[in-house]
Amino acid sequence: MNKATTLITEFQSIFNTHNNPRTFFAPGRINLIGEHTDYNGGHVFPASISYGTTALGRKRDDQRIRFYSMNFPEAGIIECDLSDLSFKESDQWANYPKGMFLYLMEAGYKVHRGADILFFGNIPNGAGLSSSASIEMATGVLLNGLFDLKLKPIPMIQFGQMVENMYIGVNSGIMDQFAIGMGKQDHAILLNCQTLEYEYAPLELGQYVIMIINTNKQRALAGSKYNERRTQCEQALRDLQRKLAVHSLGELTPEEFELNKKLITDEVNRKRAKHAVYENARTLEALKDLQQGDLIRFGQLMNESHRSLRDDYEVTGHELDTLVQAAWAQDGVIGARMTGAGFGGCAIAVVAKDKVNDFKKNISTIYREKIGYDATFYTAGIGSGAREISEEAIL
Ligand code: GLA
């Protein structure tokens, strides 16, 4: 029995039906570089990965929505009605898909009936690989498919961000949903978060691979310092606006920043803004380096990005620093940094294929010794964005 049959059988047994559901998939994402720049009007450079969320769904004849996640079987079936899609703490993980229903319907998309939906995700939760945006985008493509909504990717992406910002209460930017909604096999996406202009860049790494390393330190984005960082950047921007006609930190070059940084009265806010400005410049340079095949320089920029996130933005923490530091010291590593929001979660490293085994062995030992528990390693395939898939593809 393959996985497709398992998921379909699971759907039929959970929802007590003989009918076949339709199947959708949304990936997770890594970010190569451009961290904490999205909500600062800068650029990001993410890519969607082969891990993700599979969603199987069928329309119902009534107004009920029933959600089930194979990742949270203890939560059982979580039910609600189309007439009440308000956030409820007790609905736990199902608030993410519920929020998608709500904002689509509020925007006038005709979801006129309920649905049974089963989710199965293989992105580790809380690892900074965007499991929540993946559920949102899986729900978006599922609703689009089941109800023939003619929903375009950009609005779908924006509804996902609204779920995070207004429904869940995390003031995150648009990077995660964009990377997941617009992902392309073997490509990274350079996105201007101010204008939403984007371009794909082939991820041709030759004899190198991208390793994802999970600190296994759990972090809750909502409860984290994420919103605080965002506020600090906004304060820094307001200070700069006393003299400069800019709408976001992303509009400043490092030179302009250096000339004007004294306007930022608070020293901590100045460091935060410095990271946002320099990281944006690094991201633009990284695209060029990748296009020119200069992987060495690309790797250096990743390392600089991590140092800036550690020293100026202060979102790395002991676990991520330990991993990245250890990665820098390994043979065959051309760059390593944290990826995503930070405060735990994952790091990425560009590693020579023939050194991957040593890399894993050495980092495992160092990490366990210094942190006291294990790190987990994944080799990232760069896959396509959110879409309907055939049964055979669920493997
Ligand atoms: C999280 C947020 C994104 C982005 C990153 C940091 O993943 O959801 O919008 O801000 O952190 O780059």
> What's the CA gap between 381 and 185, in Å, rounded?
8
Indicate if 197 and 225 belong to the same structural domain: no
| Structure confidence at residue 3 (pLDDT) | 64
Indicate if 271 and 353 belong to the same structural domain: yes
| Structure confidence at residue 395 (pLDDT) | 47
Indicate if 77 and 192 belong to the same structural domain: yes
Structural domain tally of the chain?
Answer: 2
User: What are the pLDDT digits (tens) for 334-365?
Assistant: 999 999 999 999 999 999 999 999 999 999 99
**Strand, coil or helix: what is 189?**
strand
Spot the catalytic one: 38, 91, 116, 176.
176
Q: Is the distance from the beta carbon of residue 346 to the nearest atom of ligand 1 less than 6 Å? A: no
Distance (angstroms) between ligand 1 centre and the Cα of 234 equals 16
Indicate if 185 and 227 belong to the same structural domain: no
Give every residue of the chain whose pLDDT is below 50, as ranges: 1, 222, 395
Indicate if 62 and 91 belong to the same structural domain: yes
Substitution site in 175, 219, 233, 348 for ligand 1 pocket (most atoms within 8 Å of beta carbon): 175
Q: Is the distance from the beta carbon of residue 38 to the nearest atom of ligand 1 less than 6 Å? A: yes
Residue 331 is a catalytic residue: no
Tokens of residue 8, six digits: 């379909």
CB neighbour list of residue 331: distance below 8 Å, 6 or more residues apart: 352, 355, 358
Indicate if 10 and 104 belong to the same structural domain: yes
Tell me the CA end-to-end span of the chain in Å, nearest whole number: 11
Of ligand 1's listed atoms, the one at least distance from the Cα of 34 is: 12
Of ligand 1's listed atoms, the one at least distance from the Cα of 174 is: 9
Q: Scanning the structure block, which residue is given the tokens 């648009």?
A: 174
Q: Is the distance from the beta carbon of residue 168 to the nearest atom of ligand 1 less than 6 Å? A: no
CATH of the domain at 81: 3.30.230.10
Domain carrying residue 102 = 3-201+383-393
Indicate if 27 and 75 belong to the same structural domain: yes
Q: Scanning the structure block, which residue is given the tokens 């089930």?
A: 68
User: What are the pLDDT digits (tens) for 297-315?
Assistant: 999 999 999 999 999 999 9
Indicate if 224 and 94 belong to the same structural domain: no
Indicate if 176 and 245 belong to the same structural domain: no
Indicate if 179 and 229 belong to the same structural domain: no
Indicate if 125 and 217 belong to the same structural domain: no
Tokens of residue 298, six digits: 């690309």
Distance (angstroms) between ligand 1 centre and the Cα of 47 equals 13
Q: pTM for the whole thing?
A: 0.96
Exposed/middle/buried for 63, CB within 10 Å: 0-12, 13-18, 19+? middle
Indicate if 55 and 137 belong to the same structural domain: yes
| Structure confidence at residue 220 (pLDDT) | 57
